[in-house]
Amino acid sequence: MELQYPKLLQYQSYINGQFIDAHSQSTFPVSNPFNGEHIAEVTNCGIAETKNAIAAGQSAFESWRQLTGTERGQILRRWYELQMQHINDLATILTIEQGKPLEEAKGEIRYGASFVEWFAEEARRIYGDTIPGHQRDKRIVVIKQPVGVVAAITPWNFPNAMITRKVAPALAAGCTVVIKPAELTPLSANALAVLAEEAGFPPGVFNIVNTSNPSEVGKELCTNPIVKKLSFTGSTEVGKILLRQCADTVKKVSLELGGNAPFIVFDDADVKAAVKGAIAAKYRNAGQTCVCANRIFVQAAIYDQFEKSFTQAVRQQKMGSGLAEGVTIGPLVEEKAIQFVEDVVRDAIQKGATISTGGQRLGSDTKTLFYQPTVLSNVNTRMKVFTEEIFGPVAPLFKFYNEEEVIQMANDTPYGLAAYFYGCDHARIWHVAEALEYGMVGINTGMISTPVAPFGGIKESGFGREGSKYGIDEYLQLKYLCWDIND
């Protein structure tokens, strides 16, 4: 891998201000999903190293929390600037280990860094409150304090931004962090550690434990009493396990879990804009985001028109190496992922769906991780494409007739992360926005992700919010002081 700043490529784990090997000296392989090429051997940590990282976080906590918000914010700001300075290298590392096109990877680095910039500013705005006393001689003040050592378990689909979105508010609040990155994408996390050190975070404030045994390390992070908070992004299935494991030490928890986003196009929508929005919401990261449009509902009067233009737009997507010019869709991340996509498409076809475009792996190479951008028509609610989070470049188009019917179908899922709809009628916009049981709703837009808004879900998509003025509260606890002024 050719980088302008080769130091960003690190293969160890970062604990207490040092890159270290695993005690066992064992490593695990990391490969490029584009061609299966082996790109790195990364230190394979276990419980002992995880405990060391937690202890380092605990030792660093007292002095880190004592800094003023402005002082912590200045270090975060430097970290942000370093990320922007090294954007090309960070994006190259990301593309090679994760597969997304380079321009999209640069977009992720900008997105990830924007959380650091935002929370660098928020660090000095951790305001408390004064409350009029309940008795004449009582004064009540509410202060906010950092929770302590935070564990962040992060996914492979955004190897950079899901780290910064958790870690930046935690550090701004005065917490220290132990990050367990996804084993498929540890190199982006390590590159962030290099820049965190250069930005001036003291040893122990920022730690990374790389492992190919996520359940063992995850369990230690969830059960260790020194850790006071867990923030996890990943599947609902794993989120439930971690939540149970956190119960015995009654940790503060935030979970950003799976989604099954409806994308609704009403008959008064601007169809061209809706097609553009659907492409953005469906095919970002080859369909591998929790907020990807999963089920596209189109009102009967414009169904044929939408299907035709959407299919044309999907056919224009270009697959290939993320490093090649003009590529918009990369490979899926691993064999398991592509087999899942094949299974949901097979199920839909067996139950009567028709393929408007795509529908299989690319080319004759059975080992390829490329799945053709696909549009399915004649789909119905008995198919897996209705109930499962597809996490791949497959768009099922459902036909609907009225608002009541589509709201019922949109909400007919245990998930509640993101939803989208297109239409013009103002009364209906309010009504639908209020009726959708989701934490985030895009109205006439397919892109809702930004550091200034609270990202997060309801129902089995989790709880807690990331980004915005609310995001820092996840890493703070309230304390109220009741003061008798006569004593």
Phi and psi of 348, rounded to 5°? -65, -45
- Total Cβ atoms within 10 A of residue 282: 26
157 binds ligand SIN (CB under 6 A): yes
Residue 72 Cβ vs ligand SIN, minimum distance, rounded to whole Å: 24
114 binds ligand SIN (CB under 6 A): no
290 binds ligand SIN (CB under 6 A): yes
Q: Looking at this protein, which amino acid is placed at residue 290? A: C
Phi and psi of 29, rounded to 5°? -85, 150
92 binds ligand SIN (CB under 6 A): no
Among the candidate windows 219-227, 283-291, 306-314, 433-441, which touches ligand SIN by CB under 6 A?
A: 283-291
Which of 246, 290, 292, 389 is an active site residue?
290
Task: Say what the alpha-carbon torsion angle 376, 381, 383, 386 is, to the nearest 10 degrees.
Answer: 70
Residue 111 Cβ vs ligand SIN, minimum distance, rounded to whole Å: 7
Which of 108, 117, 256, 307 is an active site residue?
256
Among the candidate windows 37-45, 122-130, 284-292, 430-438, which touches ligand SIN by CB under 6 A?
A: 284-292
C-beta closer to ligand SIN: residue 49 or 474? 474
Nearest in space to 154 (alpha carbons), one of 135, 142, 167: 167
CA distance 330 to 283: 10
Task: Give strand pairing partners of 261.
Answer: 293
Residue 287 Cβ vs ligand SIN, minimum distance, rounded to whole Å: 11
C-beta closer to ligand SIN: residue 185 or 449? 449
CA distance 75 to 110: 18
C-beta closer to ligand SIN: residue 261 or 436? 261
- Count of residues making up the chain: 487
160 binds ligand SIN (CB under 6 A): no
368 binds ligand SIN (CB under 6 A): no
CA distance 51 to 49: 5
289 binds ligand SIN (CB under 6 A): yes
158 binds ligand SIN (CB under 6 A): yes
Within 240-269, which residues bind ligand SIN (CB under 6 A)?
256
- Residues 6 or more apart whose CB falls under 8 angstroms from that of 51 comprise 220, 224
C-beta closer to ligand SIN: residue 303 or 455? 455
Among the candidate windows 5-13, 289-297, 328-336, 401-409, which touches ligand SIN by CB under 6 A?
A: 289-297
Residue 482 Cβ vs ligand SIN, minimum distance, rounded to whole Å: 40
185 binds ligand SIN (CB under 6 A): no
Among the candidate windows 56-64, 117-125, 287-295, 456-464, which touches ligand SIN by CB under 6 A?
A: 287-295
Among the candidate windows 21-29, 285-293, 326-334, 404-412, which touches ligand SIN by CB under 6 A?
A: 285-293
Residue 286 Cβ vs ligand SIN, minimum distance, rounded to whole Å: 12
449 binds ligand SIN (CB under 6 A): yes
* Known active-site residue 256: yes
CA distance 296 to 32: 31
- Residues 6 or more apart whose CB falls under 8 angstroms from that of 436 comprise 262, 407, 410, 411, 419, 421
User: Which helix (H) or strand (E) element contains residue 76?
Assistant: helix 69-85
Residue 358, SS3 per DSSP: coil
Among the candidate windows 55-63, 181-189, 243-251, 288-296, which touches ligand SIN by CB under 6 A?
A: 288-296
8 binds ligand SIN (CB under 6 A): no
50 binds ligand SIN (CB under 6 A): no
**CB neighbour class for 81 (10 Å; exposed up to 12, middle 13-18, buried from 19):** middle
Residue 282, SS3 per DSSP: helix
C-beta closer to ligand SIN: residue 92 or 449? 449
291 binds ligand SIN (CB under 6 A): yes
Phi and psi of 436, rounded to 5°? -75, 125
- Total Cβ atoms within 10 A of residue 133: 15
Residue 470 Cβ vs ligand SIN, minimum distance, rounded to whole Å: 15
Q: Total binding residues for ligand SIN by CB under 6 A?
A: 9
Task: Give strand pairing partners of 31.
Answer: 38
C-beta closer to ligand SIN: residue 86 or 165? 165
Report in angstroms the alpha-carbon separations of 221 from 152, 178, 179, 215.
9, 8, 10, 10
98 binds ligand SIN (CB under 6 A): no
Residue 410 Cβ vs ligand SIN, minimum distance, rounded to whole Å: 19
CA distance 92 to 116: 20
**Tokens matching residue 318:** 């270009």
C-beta closer to ligand SIN: residue 275 or 290? 290
Within 222-241, which residues bind ligand SIN (CB under 6 A)?
233
In 3-state terms, the chain is what percent helix, strand and coil (to 5)?
40, 25, 35
CA distance 383 to 82: 47
Residues annotated as part of the active site: 256, 290
Contacts with ligand SIN, residue ranges (CB under 6 A)? 157-158, 233, 256, 289-291, 449, 455
